[in-house]
Structure formats: C-alpha cells, structure tokens
C-alpha cells in the first residue's frame, strides 16, 4: 500500500502496515523554518532558503526531498492566500529573519521594523494601512495586533463579523482543483483546509487579512461575547456555516474524494489545566453548527473531518464525537486529564488521534534523545493499537529545538515501522 492507502486505513480505524507520519501538512502539524533548515543541514541536503509556507507562525515547507528522507505520508493542499491575505505562492523573494536566517517568502510578504527591532506585518502586504501583526525583537513568529473599533452595543452588526466570509470564486476553485490534484498525484495522503468552517478561532477573530476590521475583533471581547452576546455569536456562526457549506459543495464538485481529510476547525477549547467554557455551553453554542457542517461532509463526500483543539479537553471529547468530528488534534498529552491510555480506551473507537506522539513543550525541546525515544515508543504503542493514530507532535515543532532531538523522534518512527 502507498502512503495514501495507509492513511485511509488508519482513518477507518483499521490496523495499517505502518504508523502514518505527518510533519508539515497543516498549520497545526508543522515545523518552524529554523528547524527545517537544521534538518536539511543534518541530512546533507542543499543549503537553500526554506520556503515560509505559513507566515503567521513562520512554518517551513518540508519539500519533497526532505519529506522522502523523513518518511512523511501526508501532504497538505494549501489555499491561495496566507492568513494575512496575500498570495502565498510563487513568485518568491528572499528575506533575512531577525535571527539571521534567509528564507523564501511571497512577493507581498512585506514587513517594517517598528524602530525597536520588532517586525510589523500588513494585511495584503499593504504598507499604507495599520499593521495587523508583530514579531517581537526576540521572537520567532508573529502575534496578532488587535484593531478593535469602539463597540456601540446598539450598532453591532453580524455582517461585520462575516466580512472575511463569502462565496468562493472561479479563480479560487481553479486553484484548489490544481493544488489538490498536485497533492494527490504524489501518492501521499491529502489533507486540505478549505476555510470558512472555523467557529470563533481566536487566531482568526482579529481579521489579520482585513485592512479595517469591523465587529468584535478583540480576543478578550470575543470570549466575553460568548456569554454576554450569545445570540449575536450564534447568528455569526449560522450565517458563516451557510456560506461554508455552499463553498464546500462547489469545491467538492472540483476535487471529489481526492482529499482524505479536511481541516474544519482550529478553535481551542482548552487551557493547560482546564477549559474555556463548560461542555454544556459547547453543546448549546458550537455543537449545532459543527454538526451541520460535518453532517453535510459525511453525507456528500468521503472526507474525514479534522478538529484541532489544544489543552485539557478530555471532557469535550464526547461533544466532539456527537458533533461529527472524525479526527482530534493535537492530543495535548501533557495537559490535565489527557492521559493517552484513558483517551485511547474511552474514545479510540470513535476518534482518530492525529498527534500526541511526543510532548513539544518540555520533552522535545529539553529532553535527551533516549528519553524522546522512550516517549515516542510508549505513545505509539498506546495510540496505534487497532488503528486510528497518525503520528505527529503535540502541535508545531518550534524554533531552537535541538536537531538531534527531532532526529531521535524521526529515527524512532523508522524503528517502529521497520519492526
């Protein structure tokens, strides 16, 4: 079986011939550009600028030659534009990062020094409007700049929080068809983030791609609004999902079932120790709209639905299942209540665990190679039993992680898959 067949078997909760390995297919299963460069050097590949495939988090492209060495089984189909709204593909130019690495970025990746050494990023690369994100002087990725207009309660308009959502055009459909076909032709599993289905993802709420965002754009204000203005939020979700389902229909007409999984939502519901809301509030405010989307996908396609949520979300797993999600990521095993044995026993028949292979907060950056091997072996043994496990780290691999630790992780997956 090729990688795509191995992934499909895994997603169907069947025991594949190997543990399917993902590194870099999505914005939450990726690897920082600095780490990509380190791996290329370790494996003796050409020293060339790494492409920034996701500029908000400064994630790097794992290109074909590196993916072949690592043994990656999943490829991401990426949309036309970045989170900042500029075209995220060729032609590229070179940019020297604050930490001294030369990387490859799209033409409209435009930044300015704010005078302190911090880098300011602009929506659509338009330097004439206020910046929408900032990379601190000592940072390795961008943070959103909140551009919240004064809120006048009686003038709140749901349409203002729908500005970034609209029916997909022919140009985007043509692009998705080409991108999915290119990914499918590799023989690897394919995951795509078609967009528009994330409900209240705080990475998206500030409207990084919008030049003058309106509505509720402050993250704290948005969280408070789920309690103070629930009807407003529900109306946003309802109209957003109506648009999203129509777009999914149009996309499916072009790409069919060449996609194995679709990244539907990155909204976080967990902190390190608890959750942002009660399961009952999830059931009332989010579940109906997630279910509407997932039901359409399951009725009309063969795609599996991918839900990302960081944190201690064990108490939400049942809700994710009832909402129709097939896959949970990143499986934050170091958060409260997220014990791998318990998760697999209780939810492994219904959810595919995509992630959870190794802790990225403490173990991967600060552990020793033999400790990394032990954790990977243990987690793979637990999660891969009877299928339903795609190996990935707990969220993206960050900058400054020792390359020997990443290699120890990769070598352990190779060891498991040889046995």
Q: What is the pLDDT of residues 91-106, one digit of tens each?
A: 999 999 999 999 999 9
379: pLDDT confidence band, cut at 50, 70 and 90?
A: very high
Domain-by-domain residue ranges, the chain?
Answer: 3-37+62-81+141-418
What is the distance between the alpha carbons of residues 177 and 179, in angstroms, rounded to a whole number? Answer: 6
257: pLDDT confidence band, cut at 50, 70 and 90?
A: very high
Angle at which helix 403-418 crosses helix 369-383, to 10 degrees, equals 40
Q: Inform me whether the pLDDT recorded for 12 exceeds 90.
A: yes
167-207 confidence digits (pLDDT tens): 999 999 999 999 999 999 999 999 999 999 999 999 999 99
> What average pLDDT does the chain have?
97
Q: For a pLDDT cut of 90, what percent of the chain falls above it?
A: 100
Q: Please give the average per-residue pLDDT across 381-406, as a whole number.
A: 97
Q: Are 179 and 173 in contact (CB under 8 A)?
A: no
Q: Is 50 helix (H, G, I), strand (E, B) or coil?
A: strand
229: pLDDT confidence band, cut at 50, 70 and 90?
A: very high
Global pTM reads: 0.97
Q: Pick the closest to residue 264 from 199, 321, 342 (CA basis).
A: 199
Residue 73's pLDDT is what? 98
Rg (CA), the chain: 21
Residue 22's pLDDT is what? 98
Kindly give, in sequence order, each residue whose CB lies less than 8 Å from that of residue 336, ignoring residues fewer than 6 positions away.
272, 273, 274, 312
Q: For a pLDDT cut of 70, what percent of the chain falls above it?
A: 100
- Could you name the CATH architecture of 3-37+62-81+141-418? Alpha-Beta Barrel (3.20)
Query: How many H helices and E strands in the chain?
Result: 13, 16
Residue 381's pLDDT is what? 97
Q: Please give the average per-residue pLDDT across 335-352, as a whole number.
A: 98
Structure tokens at 235: 């109306």
Residue 405's pLDDT is what? 98
List residues bridging with 192 in a β-sheet: 77, 262
Residue 44 CB-density burial (10 A; 0-12 exposed, 13-18 middle, 19+ buried): exposed
Residue 112's pLDDT is what? 97
Q: Are strands 352-354 and 327-329 parallel, antiparallel or unpaired?
A: parallel
DSSP H helical segments within 205-278, as ranges? 219-228, 230-255
Q: Inform me whether the pLDDT recorded for 74 exceeds 90.
A: yes
Burial 282-305 (b: 16+ CB within 10 A, else e): beebbbebbebbbebbeeebebbb
Q: Please give the average per-residue pLDDT across 235-264, as a whole number.
A: 98
419: pLDDT confidence band, cut at 50, 70 and 90?
A: confident
Residue 386's pLDDT is what? 92
Q: Pick the closest to residue 184 from 404, 21, 8, 34 (CA basis).
A: 8
Place of tokens 């960050």: 398
Q: Inform me whether the pLDDT recorded for 305 exceeds 90.
A: yes
Q: Pick the closest to residue 349 from 312, 378, 387, 381 (CA basis).
A: 387
Q: Pick the closest to residue 132 from 71, 187, 207 (CA basis).
A: 207
């Amino acid at each position: 079986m090729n990688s795509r067949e191995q992934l499909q078997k895994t997603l169907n909760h069947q025991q594949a011939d190997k543990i399917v390995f993902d590194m870099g297919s999505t914005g939450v299963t990726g690897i920082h550009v600095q780490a990509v460069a380190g791996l290329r050097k370790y494996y003796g590949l050409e020293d060339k600028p790494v492409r920034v495939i996701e500029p908000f988090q400064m994630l790097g492209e794992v290109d074909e030659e590196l993916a072949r060495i690592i043994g990656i089984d999943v490829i991401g189909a990426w949309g036309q534009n970045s989170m900042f709204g500029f075209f995220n593909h060729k032609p590229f130019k070179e940019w020297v990062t604050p930490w001294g690495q030369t990387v490859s970025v799209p033409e409209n990746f435009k930044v300015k020094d704010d005078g302190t050494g911090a880098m300011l990023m602009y929506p659509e690369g338009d330097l004439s409007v206020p910046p929408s994100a900032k990379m601190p002087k000592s940072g390795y990725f961008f943070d959103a700049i909140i551009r919240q207009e004064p809120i006048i309660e009686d003038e709140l308009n749901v349409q203002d929080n729908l500005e970034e959502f609209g029916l997909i055009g022919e140009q985007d459909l043509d692009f998705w068809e080409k991108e999915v076909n290119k990914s499918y032709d590799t023989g690897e599993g394919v995951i795509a983030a078609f967009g528009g289905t994330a409900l209240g993802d705080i990475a998206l709420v500030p409207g990084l791609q919008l030049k003058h965002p309106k509505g509720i754009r402050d993250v704290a204000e948005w969280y408070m609004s789920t309690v103070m203005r629930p009807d407003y939020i529900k109306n946003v979700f309802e109209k957003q999902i109506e648009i999203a389902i129509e777009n999914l229909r149009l996309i499916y007409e072009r790409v069919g079932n060449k996609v194995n999984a679709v990244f539907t939502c990155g909204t976080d519901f967990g902190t390190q120790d608890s959750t942002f809301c009660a399961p009952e509030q999830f059931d009332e405010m989010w579940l109906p709209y997630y279910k509407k989307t997932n039901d359409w996908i399951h009725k009309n396609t063969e795609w599996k639905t991918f839900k990302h949520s960081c944190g201690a979300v064990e108490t939400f797993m049942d809700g994710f299942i009832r909402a129709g999600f097939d896959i949970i990521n990143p499986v934050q095993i170091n958060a409260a209540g997220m014990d791998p044995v318990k998760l697999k026993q209780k939810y492994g028949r219904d959810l595919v665990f995509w992630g959870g292979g190794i802790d990225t907060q403490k173990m991967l950056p600060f552990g020793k190679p033999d400790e990394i091997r032990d954790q990977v072996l243990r987690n793979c043994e637990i999660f891969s039993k009877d299928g339903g496990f795609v190996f990935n780290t707990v969220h993206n691999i960050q900058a400054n992680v020792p390359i020997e630790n990443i290699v120890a992780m990769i070598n352990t997956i190779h060891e498991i898959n040889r046995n």
